[in-house]
A and B are shown apart, each in its own frame.
Chain A
Amino acid sequence: MELTGSHTLDAPVSTIWTMLMDTDTLARVVPGVTRLEKTAENEYLAIAEIKLGPVSGAFTGTLSLSDIRENEGYTLHVKQNSKIGNADATVSIALKPLSDAQTEISFDGNARLSGLLARTGQRVISGVATTLTKQFFANVENELAADPTTHS
């Protein structure tokens, strides 16, 4: 399953970077994630509840960050296990300043699905991926709106 998207946010790159490196904020903006616990430097235990079209499930797994380049981006690695199958996603997130007050956030990666998750219609799941992407960007915007300090 391909995961790609980009979105322009009304905030400077440093603000977005701080948000993306903050555990609590990350837990709030990543769709479906209900809990994120730091287990080591840049490694987290992640609990997620996701409804993917006809199947829904509680996922537990790890979330780790690598290739961290300040104000530029990092690679997010998510490995989630559930009763309905496992998901293993590697997504590189890139930040690009468009101006002092605008930043383009884009990501590109793919998710490997297994078990019932894989069998139950990648057709449906691609749609779900699009929805999750939109949710992610909307969540980031909500975070920015909620926190006045983030606006320059």
Chain B
Amino acid sequence: MSNKFIGQSIKRVEDKRFITGKGRYTDDIVLPGMLHAHFVRSPYAHARVVSIDMTEAKAMPGVIAIYTGDDVADINGVPCGWQVNFRNGETMREPKHPMLIPTGSTAKHAGDAVAIVIAETKAIATDAAESVMVEWDELPAVANPAEALKPGAPKVHEQFPDNTAFDWSLGNPIEEVDAAMAAAAHVTTLEFVNQRVVPNAMEPRAYIGAYDEMADKYTLYTSTQNPHLIRLLMCAFVLGIPEHKVRVVGPDVGGGFGSKIYHYTEEALVTWASKQIGQPVKWTSDRSEAFLLDAHGRDHVTKAEMGFDADGNVMGLRIKTVANMGAYLSTFAPAVPTYLHGTLLQGLYVTPKINIDMTCVFTHTVAVDAYRGAGRPEATYLLERLMDLAALEMGMDPAELRFKNFIPKFDGVNEPGYQTQVALQYDSGDYAPVLERGLEMLGYNDFRAAQQEAAKTNKLLGVGFSTYVEACGIAPSAVVGALGARAGLYESAQVRVQPTGKVSVFTGSHSHGQGHETTFVQVVADKLGIPMEDVELVHGDSDTVAFGMGTYGSRSLAVGGSAIMKSIDKVLEKGAKIAAHKLECAEGDLTYDEGKWTVKGTDKSIGFGDVALTAYVPHVYPAGLEPGLDFSSFYDPANFTYPFGCHIAVVEVDKETGKTTLKRMIAVDDVGNVINPMIVDGQIHGGLAQGIGQAMFEGTIYDENAQLTNGTYMDYCMPRADDLPLFETDRRTTPCPHNPLGVKGAGEAGAIGSTPAVVNAVIDALWSGGHQVKDILMPMTPERVWRAMNN
């Protein structure tokens, strides 16, 4: 292999079409005879459908069909892909998530659909949907997960009167943790809310269902992160269509952040309706629907306690959390507060005793599922808030407290992986250097003096630390299967060498902002020693890519890239056989470099293109060897990967107004080997903006009727460029020991580490001004910060 491209900041090849407006998103696709759908939705969070009157709507010119819950009664609900049972063994409560709420049934959250109106244009469909008269019987509703557990709270599902979906615990026996806490010299206690946020992908969800009667085959175009997974869920669980009768295409997709992993009712409905009508049906979410219906993230109410001995060594961690699941269980929802959250509570520390107790509840809100980081930001927020607060309470330096408690270095090769108290075994880690580098970039020695000076003025200065570890490269199938996953989480790849030596790579990973068309091609070109222009990446179409589990959990390169590596190995192995035959030598006498096989110690060689041509024109060819040069592979990872890092925020807090200004954001991340530093930086930047957004700006606000009251960009505050400082990023590299590229994943790190750093910085600023505040509810608006200082 060569090393021309790996490690280089090559500009993203896909950006040409994106920045010139030539991307092809689902909504850009226009099929002959295509109709448009609009949904009639519940204006209430909880209400019984008394009657539906479609008379006026059906009579409107251009209206083709209106379907209600009664028309789709035979279609199953959208399934949940992960089962987490109660501690006592009781099966997870899994209410049906119906396609449409039929007359006599109840809508469980604002926006639950009762009818799909299909018309010749979107405008007609919208007008007609507004003319469908639904008589509602409004019922009491609850949005807050802690409230939902109280006796007498409105019930989301009549059959589950306590509103509990399941409960769960992990770690050491509670008695051992209680004993560790009782023996601690100091216990830091923090009760906080990790608030609900909206994913806000730039491209709203969009779907087109098209049925070809002659071929008896459906095509679904969908803005998804995982076309094959949607096909699997929709065919096998919802519509009952054989998979070979369905093609799912995920074309250019404008961001997902988790919200486009899941199978949504609208996808199945447009697919189903296209056959009923015999014409393609498109639905594109408007922004208001996106706020209301795209699966949300976070939403935990937590009490966390961390015990220390007199020297500041962590003795124990005890956590009780209530997690909001929303009204129905979305595709991966049960895994998020459990196996993607509880398992990360070791953090970077040698905490000997850990216990987490989760109660996961139904509320009259849209489903909560994975959102950039998915459970790991919640775990990091909890741990890192506790560490900084404990340092303040004990009068210790927060950096020193971390150095004291870090797990010692282990590379996973010469030293074994680190076995946590919460099931996972970390692959490799070297934690002190990322914090050391962060402190160096910060200029920590000078910072505290500047902070003391600032405390005399109206602008308080604060610094917040966060050192995180995450579990990426999701996931070893046998492990997740044992934990309740109803799918494997491997990846597939096909490397097809064309007769001319050009290469088409088919991957089950899906790019929706990650830059796979660049990074994956860098890897393939280097491994084969050919120009990047000779390689194309094909993804997002179930008819061209054999199979795939898609992109989420920072898995594409670690899992999808590894599958590609396996296929490349097979190509080179077979290529060597052909080369040896042509060069009349033994395979063992050959070396492969710079795109050609050379007989060791000679100048006799044959190029990759010649070997490819020979494979397809096998006139002079090894006996018994099949023609062609085209290999598929599946890769199932041996473990998760465990990137880690250190994020440091510096804030200025105006004493008089409570306004927080983020002055500096430092991120030192160790994501294993890096293929394209610029793309990794871009991923980190985007993640930081989202993590900072949660700390300072974002968050849903539900009223007492469980109505989302800030479902617009006028009311839901997104971070803007001028809210953010220039990010200061650096990296350390601890390769992953168990995948061929040594990569760990970088998609979520920014959103995982940054949120607690920013909140810690504000708390630190307030303490420097004499306000010994433990917590400020996110988002930290000026009002909340002011009240924290003045109450």
Q: Which residues of A contact B (CB under 8 A)?
A: 54, 83, 85-86, 88, 112-124
Contacts and interface: CB of A to CB of B under 8 A. Distances in A.
A119 B714 contact: no
A120 B714 CA distance: 8
Contacts of B705: 112, 114, 118
A122 B703 contact: yes
Given A114-B110, A114-B707, A120 B130 contact: no
Contacts of B138: 88, 114
B591 interface: no
A118 B703 contact: yes
B130 A83 contact: yes
Interface string B707-718: 111111011000
A38 to B, nearest CB: 22
B123 to A, nearest CB: 13
B110 A115 contact: yes
A114 B715 contact: no
B707 A118 contact: yes
A119 B130 contact: no
B481 interface: no
Nearest to A116: B288
B292 interface: yes
A119 B288 contact: yes
A54 B711 CA distance: 13
A119 B703 contact: no
Interface of B: 41, 43-44, 110, 130, 136, 138, 288, 291-292, 703, 705, 707-712, 714-715
B715 A113 contact: no
Given A119-B288, A119-B291, A122-B703, A114 B44 contact: yes
A83 B712 CA distance: 17
A91 B288 CA distance: 30
Contacts of B709: 118-119, 121-122
Top 7 closest pairs, chain A to chain B, by CB:
A119-B711, A115-B43, A118-B707, A114-B43, A83-B130, A121-B715, A122-B709
A99 to B, nearest CB: 40
Given A112-B705, A114-B110, A114-B705, A119 B44 contact: no
A116 B709 CA distance: 9
B106 to A, nearest CB: 15
27 contacts: A54-B714, A85-B43, A88-B138, A112-B705, A113-B707, A114-B138, A114-B705, A114-B707, A115-B43, A116-B288, A118-B703, A118-B705, A118-B707, A118-B708, A118-B709, A118-B711, A119-B709, A119-B710, A119-B711, A119-B712, A119-B715, A120-B712, A121-B709, A121-B710, A122-B703, A122-B709, A123-B714
Contacts of B715: 119-123
Contacts of B43: 85-86, 114-118
Contacts of B41: 115
Given A115-B41, A119-B710, A124-B714, 6 more contacts: A114-B138, A117-B43, A119-B708, A120-B288, A120-B712, A121-B710
Nearest to A125: B709
A73 to B, nearest CB: 26
A121 B711 CA distance: 8
B603 to A, nearest CB: 73
A72 B769 CA distance: 55
Contacts of A116: 43, 288
Nearest to A53: B714
A120 B703 contact: no
Contacts of B288: 116, 119-120
A121 B707 contact: no
Contacts of A113: 707
B137 to A, nearest CB: 12
A113 B715 CA distance: 16
A112 B704 CA distance: 9
Contacts of A115: 41, 43, 110
Contacts of B710: 119, 121
A122 B708 CA distance: 10
Contacts of A114: 43-44, 110, 138, 705, 707
A115 to B, nearest CB: 3
Contacts of B44: 86, 114
A122 B710 CA distance: 8
Contacts of A112: 705
**Most chain-A Cβ atoms within 10 A of its Cβ — which of B291, B707, B715?**
B707
Nearest to A114: B43
Contact of A121 (B110, B292, B712): B712
B503 to A, nearest CB: 49
A85 B288 CA distance: 13
A114 B136 CA distance: 12
B714 A121 contact: yes
A86 B43 CA distance: 7
Contacts of B292: 119
B671 to A, nearest CB: 38
A83 to B, nearest CB: 4
A54 B715 CA distance: 12
A114 B707 CA distance: 7
Contacts of A124: 714
A86 B248 CA distance: 38
B131 to A, nearest CB: 8
A53 to B, nearest CB: 9
A113 B138 CA distance: 12
Contacts of B703: 118, 122
Q: Which of B292, B705, B708, B709 has the most CB of A within 10 A?
A: B709
A82 to B, nearest CB: 9
B83 to A, nearest CB: 33
B711 A120 contact: yes
A15 to B, nearest CB: 38
Please indicate which of the listed interface residues A119, A122, A124 has the most CB atoms of chain B within 10 Å of its own CB.
A119
A10 to B, nearest CB: 38
Nearest to B701: A122
A130 to B, nearest CB: 17
A56 to B, nearest CB: 14
Contacts of B110: 114-115, 118
Contacts of B712: 54, 119-121
A43 B351 CA distance: 68
Contacts of A123: 714-715
A86 B134 CA distance: 12
Which of A88, A118, A120 has the most chain B CB within a 10 Å cutoff? A118
A132 B244 CA distance: 60
B52 to A, nearest CB: 14
Nearest to B715: A121
A115 B136 CA distance: 13
B142 to A, nearest CB: 15
Contacts of B130: 83
A115 B714 CA distance: 16
B225 to A, nearest CB: 26
A122 B44 CA distance: 16
A119 B716 CA distance: 10
A131 B707 CA distance: 23
- Interface-centre pick from A115, A117, A123 (highest chain B CB count, 10 A): A115
Nearest to A57: B130
B716 to A, nearest CB: 9
A120 B710 CA distance: 6
Contacts of A122: 703, 709, 715
A50 B43 CA distance: 18
Contacts of A86: 43-44, 136
A86 B138 CA distance: 11
